[in-house]
Amino acid sequence: MIIVRAAGGLGNQMQQYALYRKLKSLGRDAKMDLSWFDEADQRSVQTPRALELLRFRDLPLDVCTKQEKKALAGGSGFAARIGRKLFGSGHVFEESEMYHPEIFAMEDMYLQGYFACEKYYADILPALQKDFVFPEAKSGDAAKKNESFLKNAADDPGSVSIHIRRGDYLAPENAALLGGICTDAYYGGAVREVRKAAGDVPLTFYVFSDDPEYARTLHFGDAQEENIVADWNTGEDNLLDMQLMSACRANICANSTFSFWGARLNARRDRICVRPSSHRNNQVSEKEKMHDYWKGWILIDKEGKLF
């Protein structure tokens, strides 16, 4: 059996699920472990996370039992965790590289990691686009705005989503790792490349951010091109921003798995997906590997140049 641990925010949970689904598609006996979201397992986490994966409707998912987890990962107590750190475990694998192809040959393993590399599951994205069925907005007003947005964006060959991640990325403990990647130059370069790829159509920019007030101080594109800050999906409705992103023809992502999934769920044949050339400041991005791992994506560095 292969068990994939779910952990982190929604985008990471979706990546772990995607790897699980890839393993299932290969006929492997795979399950997911959701126990990280128990309160006791998040005491040392800077930003506690909720299990949002199950907010998708009727998501096909096999969850492991406590006994199945213990058989591979050992106990969950403090002593067991220290023991694994000191002596390792033959049945626990922890991600250390951007892509680990050896995962697909493993037997009886407990997998820990975020598995952001699209190469893991690029070939099953059409199936994943069907798996992730979004719930209805809890707010009736938001539901109406979402319905209108989805129709307008889908009918517009110039619709562009832009994601700006601030919030916890501005905290001192995160800024050194995640800050300074999606610069003004990055967004300028991304808009330039989207314009090239989209052809001779006017662009409409739909801006998504955890800081909508800041987003309203910005303007993307030419002076006459409309910028709309999509700020109505709040609270538990926040994940519906991902659905709105996916309806746009072009997706300009932040260094955030949330907007990566907005682009991955974009099923348009003429889609244009843009992401920063690195996700973290401690990441060594090798051009050849990045283009292999993210086929079909436009990669832009923090200076606004094609990578």
Q: Convert the pLDDT of each residue in 284-306 to its tens digit.
A: 889 999 999 999 999 999 999 99
Q: Which CATH class is domain 137-300?
A: alpha beta
Q: Residues in the chain, how many? A: 307
Q: What are phi and psi of 117, to 5 degrees?
A: -65, 125
How far apart (Å, rounded) are the C-alpha atoms in residues 147 and 290? 35
How high is the pLDDT of residue 178? Answer: 93
Secondary structure in 3-state letters for the chain? CEEEECCCCHHHHHHHHHHHHHHHHCCCCEEEECHHHCHHHHCCCCCCCCCCHHHCCCCCCCECCHHHHHHHHCCCCHHHHHHHHHHCCCCEEECCCCCCHHHHHCCCEEEECCCCCHHHCHHHHHHHHHHCCCCCCCCHHHHHHHHHHHHHHHCCCCEEEEEECCHHHHCHHHHHHHCCCCCHHHHHHHHHHHHHHHCCCCCEEEEEECCHHHHCCCCCCCCCCCEEECCCCCHHHHHHHHHHHHHCCEEECCCCHHHHHHHHCCCCCCCEEEEECCCCCCCCCCHHHHHHHCCCCEEECCCCCEC
How high is the pLDDT of residue 85? Answer: 55
Low-confidence stretches of the chain (pLDDT beneath 70): 39-47, 75-89
Domain boundaries, the chain: 2-124, 137-300
Q: Which residues face 110 on adjacent strands?
A: 3, 92
How high is the pLDDT of residue 38? Answer: 87
- Rounded to two decimals, what is the model's pTM? 0.92
